[in-house]
């Protein structure tokens, strides 16, 4: 599967143009994109990163990482996904970076999503939907998600040692199991309204513009 991720990540280089500031997502597929970006780093002005993890990898390659506030609107954002439906709507946040990813996607003219074929689904929701939550609101938000989704089971994300995962923003993640999301736009909006929710890992309002599915050759949606 990592071969498909590599092929998707490398194909995304075709979308990078000279002088761009490139938005960079998070995850193992994006890691391949970052490694490929290193070979053309002299052609770009820099990057804006969606996580500490990606920032470290970019800097290790000597690629400049800029603050979004000074970079302004971006021409291109490249990121992976946990699920992608035929409308290029996504579930993201498996790497707990959903909030910064959403911000950069919103700030970008073109969102190129890089996935392996296993991420394609007809209906989103088999992958538990990540929701980033202010820590003090964890139980409240969990109860509200139960009530509003009528069947969604929120689970507090823990690491291998049983400690609650903290995002780069110091918040917690609830992974909502058992959803079959037939109206992603509506669910994104509904969950966004719960006080204490920072962001929802549904990318429906701002879906991908182009999806690259890794393979020989890569396919474009």
Which of these segments, 24-32, 148-156, 168-176, 184-192, binds ligand 5RP (CB under 6 A)?
Answer: 24-32
Contact, 133 vs 166, CB < 8 A? no
Phi, psi of 73 (to 5 degrees): -60, 145
CB nearer ligand 5RP, residue 57 or residue 92: 92
Residue 29 touches ligand 5RP, criterion: CB under 6 A:
yes
* Per-residue binding letters, 49-88, with ligand 5RP (x by CB under 6 A): ------------------------------xxxx------
CB nearer ligand 5RP, residue 146 or residue 177: 177
The least CB distance from residue 217 to ligand 5RP, in Å, is 20
Residues in the chain: 221
Strands, sheet with 129-133, edge to edge from the N-terminal-most edge strand: 153-156, 172-177, 129-133, 197-200
101 labelled catalytic: yes
Q: Which of 24, 55, 93, 132 binds ligand 5RP (CB under 6 A)?
A: 93
Selecting among 10, 83, 101, 132, the annotated active-site residue is 101
Buried b vs exposed e over 141-173: b needs ≥16 C-beta within 10 Å?
A: bbebbeeebeebebeebeeeeeeeeebeeebbb
**Helix axes of 52-60 and 28-38: crossing angle, nearest 10 degrees:** 30
Residue 99 touches ligand 5RP, criterion: CB under 6 A:
no
Residue 214 touches ligand 5RP, criterion: CB under 6 A:
no
Site residues for ligand 5RP per CB under 6 A: 25-29, 79-82, 92-98, 101
Indicate which residues carry an active-site annotation: 101
């Amino acid at each position: 599967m990592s071969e498909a991720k590599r092929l998707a990540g490398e194909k995304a280089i075709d979308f990078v143009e000279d002088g761009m500031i490139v938005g960079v997502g998070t995850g193992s597929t994006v890691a391949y994109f970052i490694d490929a970006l290193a070979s053309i780093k002299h052609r770009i002005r820099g990057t804006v990163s969606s996580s500490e993890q990606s920032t470290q990898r970019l800097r290790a390659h000597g690629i400049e990482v800029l603050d979004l506030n000074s970079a302004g609107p971006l021409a291109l954002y490249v990121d992976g996904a946990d699920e992608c439906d035929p409308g290029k709507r996504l579930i993201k946040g498996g790497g707990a970076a959903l909030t910064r990813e959403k911000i950069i996607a919103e700030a970008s003219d073109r969102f190129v999503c890089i996935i392996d074929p296993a991420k394609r689904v007809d209906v989103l929701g088999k992958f538990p939907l990540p929701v980033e939550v202010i820590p003090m609101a964890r139980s409240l938000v969990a109860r509200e998600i139960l009530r509003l989704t009528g069947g969604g089971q929120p689970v507090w994300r823990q690491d291998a040692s049983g400690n609650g995962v903290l995002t780069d923003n110091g918040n917690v993640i609830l992974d909502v199991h058992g959803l079959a999301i037939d109206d992603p736009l509506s669910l994104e909006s509904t969950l966004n309204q719960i006080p204490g929710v920072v962001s929802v890992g549904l990318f429906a309002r701002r879906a991908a513009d182009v999806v690259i599915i890794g393979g020989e050759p890569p396919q474009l949606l």
